[in-house]
Structures are given as structure tokens and as C-alpha cells.
């Protein structure tokens, strides 16, 4: 059996990256609907901070691929206005921390206009942004704030963790009459895997969680950049004779609680893995819903694995220590089974 050595940046035939899946999704949307356009900082001539939009300016021109000033509030507001006037804008905010500069536009504008207008004005806007830590971008650019936005009625919050979801979620998001925020984890852009086939892409929806691994002993609930580590933890648990079920939330608002509760009732134990901080986290909300609706089905308290409650360190070893680890997930799962430290 021969093996092929790939040079840096080269990938095997039939494979692709998360980055290329996102780019292809944008390209398809632009080609499919003349109302779709992309706007954001450095999305045109530079090709995007994470090279997601590289080549799109040459293909579609400056009317469809629009470089904006460094003013998130301004261009997010322009996107809302364009959506109100019949366009289908894709607004790219470079990193999630910069979205705080557009918080008023998103929370007080896009999310509320349908309600405030008595149902007269939809805002079919898609906002994409990079989220998460792991690239040594320190405290200012390493936030996981999806849970903040998942708190807001009027928004749909997506967190694609697989290549198929990265490829398939954008179009249904653009078809949604209301604002959709898509959080792309920075550590996934280079993730490589088989090119999703048409059936896999078309099967992607933006309403349901997905079961990524079947198990009988404990349910691990996660999303986004933590899916890979959670699956690694499930593999490690399997070597110890523990069968772990893995649920990828994918949609953070509205939560598909039926899928989560069904899995928890089957395994009778749950661990929620969330890159956000523990206090007031999305993990806290999921834990509360499990306790509210499946308490009598549980054989152990719900466990949570979250990031350390500190500004993200710059030093690589400290950054990794602050994030949920495979080891921490394994120990939390073992704890629900009364096995203690391994």
C-alpha cells in the first residue's frame, strides 16, 4: 500500500477544506440570486482576513463584493437597509469581538424590526463572523460570544462544525426572511475532509441538531469548534468501555431541544461542552432545559466543560489550558458514571 506525501497547502484529490466550503457556498449564492452581495472589511481585494473570499472580487466585481470602511456599525446598518429594500446581503464581520461595535444594529435593529413594525418588515440579512480561540490572537480576538446572540429573540444563530454544514447552511440562511448569524470557528478554516456530495449539502437544514456519534452510556452535547475535541473524547471513552453519544447542536437559536432531550433520556447522563465561559453560558441554558424536562430520566447531574473564566492568554500553552480539553471532557463523562479520575 503506497502513501502520498503532500506538500504544505496541497490536499489529496477528492478532499477540500472548511474554508473552501464556505467560499463555494458564497459563490453559489452569488451566482444563484442577483440580489445577493457580500460586504465587509477586506473581503474584496485582500480576499478576506481568513482567505475565505479570495477570488470572488475578480469573478463577481465590486458591485457584488464590497470592501467597507472599518466601521462595523455602519456597514451592518447598511446591510439591514439593503435587506429591508429587497436585497439579500451577506455581511462579514472579521471576528466576533468586532461585532460588539455593531451590537446596537443587530440587537436593537435587525432582531426587532419585524416585531416593532407589527409584522410588516422582515430583515433577510445574513451576518457571518469568525469566532473562538486557538490561534494565539490573545484576549481581544479569541471570544466565543455565540451564547450572547443566542439570548436574543428575532435572530437565528448557526454554528457549522462540519464541511457539509459549512457548505450547505448559507443558502437556507439567505432564504430565511429574518436575520441569521453564522459563527465560523477560526480553528476550522483549515480543517480538511472529503468533499461533501450534493446529497449531503442539500440535506443540511438550519432547524435541527445532528447526532454525530451513537452511544448508550452518556450524551455529549456540543457545537462549533468543540465538536472535534468532543468526538476525540468519545473515542477515548470507547477505549475505556464507555459508549458516548455525541450531539452537535448546529443551531443555537432556536435550540433543537427535542433532539437533545431524546438523547439524554436514552443514555440517562449528559455532559455539555461549550467554549464559552461557564457563568451565564449557553451550557447553563442547555443544562437547565435538561433538568427542567428530563430530570426524572437522569441517573447523574448534568456536567459542564467550559473555558476558564479569564481573558484568553496569548501564550500557546496557557491558551490551551484555558480551553476545554479532551481530557476534561473524558473526566466529566467518567464522573457522570461514578468512575472518578482515570
C-alpha to C-alpha distance for 18 and 167, rounded to whole angstroms: 8
Active-site residue identified among 41, 92, 141, 257: 141
C-alpha to C-alpha distance for 307 and 73, rounded to whole angstroms: 29
- β-bridge pairing 15-17 and 192-194: antiparallel
C-alpha to C-alpha distance for 63 and 59, rounded to whole angstroms: 11
Catalytic residue check, 143:
no
> How deeply is 50 buried, as exposed, middle or buried, from its count of CB atoms within 10 A (0-12, 13-18, 19+)?
buried
**Containing H/E element for 134?**
none
Catalytic residue check, 184:
no
What is the DSSP-derived secondary structure letter of residue 202? H
Q: How many other β-carbons are positioned within 10 Å of the β-carbon of residue 27? A: 17
Distance of CA 230 to the CA centre of its chain: 15
C-alpha to C-alpha distance for 111 and 44, rounded to whole angstroms: 27
CB 72 within 8 A of CB 93: yes
3-state secondary structure of 79: helix
Active-site residue identified among 41, 72, 275, 331: 72
3-state secondary structure of 303: strand
C-alpha to C-alpha distance for 164 and 101, rounded to whole angstroms: 31
CB 57 within 8 A of CB 29: no
Buried/exposed code over 139-169 (b: 16+ C-beta within 10 A; e: otherwise) = eebbbbbbbbbbebebbbbbbbbbbbbbbbb
Residues 6+ apart with CB under 8 A from 137: 95, 186, 312
Can you give 124-167 as a three-state secondary structure string?
A: CCEEEEEECCCCCCCCCCCCCCHHHHHCCCCCEEECCCCHHHHH
Catalytic positions = 72, 141
Amino acid at each position: 500500500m503506497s502513501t502520498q506525501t503532500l506538500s504544505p497547502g496541497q490536499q489529496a484529490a477528492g478532499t477540500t477544506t472548511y474554508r473552501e466550503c464556505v467560499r463555494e457556498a458564497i459563490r453559489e449564492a452569488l451566482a444563484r440570486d442577483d440580489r445577493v452581495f457580500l460586504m465587509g472589511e477586506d473581503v474584496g481585494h485582500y480576499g478576506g482576513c481568513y482567505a475565505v473570499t479570495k477570488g470572488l472580487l475578480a469573478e463577481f466585481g465590486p458591485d457584488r463584493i464590497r470592501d467597507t470602511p472599518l466601521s462595523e456599525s455602519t456597514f451592518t446598518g447598511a446591510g439591514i437597509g439593503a435587506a429591508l429594500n429587497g436585497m439579500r446581503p451577506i455581511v462579514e464581520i472579521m471576528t466576533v469581538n468586532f461585532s460588539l461595535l455593531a451590537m446596537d444594529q443587530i440587537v436593537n435593529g435587525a432582531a426587532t424590526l419585524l416585531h416593532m413594525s407589527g409584522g410588516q418588515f422582515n430583515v433577510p440579512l445574513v451576518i457571518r463572523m469568525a469566532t473562538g480561540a486557538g490561534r494565539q490572537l490573545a484576549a481581544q480576538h479569541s471570544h466565543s460570544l455565540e451564547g450572547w446572540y443566542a439570548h436574543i429573540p428575532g435572530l437565528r444563530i448557526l454554528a457549522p462544525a462540519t464541511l457539509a454544514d459549512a457548505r450547505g447552511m448559507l443558502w437556507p440562511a439567505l432564504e430565511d426572511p429574518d436575520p441569521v448569524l453564522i459563527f465560523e470557528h477560526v480553528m476550522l478554516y483549515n480543517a480538511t475532509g472529503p468533499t461533501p456530495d450534493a446529497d449531503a449539502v442539500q440535506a443540511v437544514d438550519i432547524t435541527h441538531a445532528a447526532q454525530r456519534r451513537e452511544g448508550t452510556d452518556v450524551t455529549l452535547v456540543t457545537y462549533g469548534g468543540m465538536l472535534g475535541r468532543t468526538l476525540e473524547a468519545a473515542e477515548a471513552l470507547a477505549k475505556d468501555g464507555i459508549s458516548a453519544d455525541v450531539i452537535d447542536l448546529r443551531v443555537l437559536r432556536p435550540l433543537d431541544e427535542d433532539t437533545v432531550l431524546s438523547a439524554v433520556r436514552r443514555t440517562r447522563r449528559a455532559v455539555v461542552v461549550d467554549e464559552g465561559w461557564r457563568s451565564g453560558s449557553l451550557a447553563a441554558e442547555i443544562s437547565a432545559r435538561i433538568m427542567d424536562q428530563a430530570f426524572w430520566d437522569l441517573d447523574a447531574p448534568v456536567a459542564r466543560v467550559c473555558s476558564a473564566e479569564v481573558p484568553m492568554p496569548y501564550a500557546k500553552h496557557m491558551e490551551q489550558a484555558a480551553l476545554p480539553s479532551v481530557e476534561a471532557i473524558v473526566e466529566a463523562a467518567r464522573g457522570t458514571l461514578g468512575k472518578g479520575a482515570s
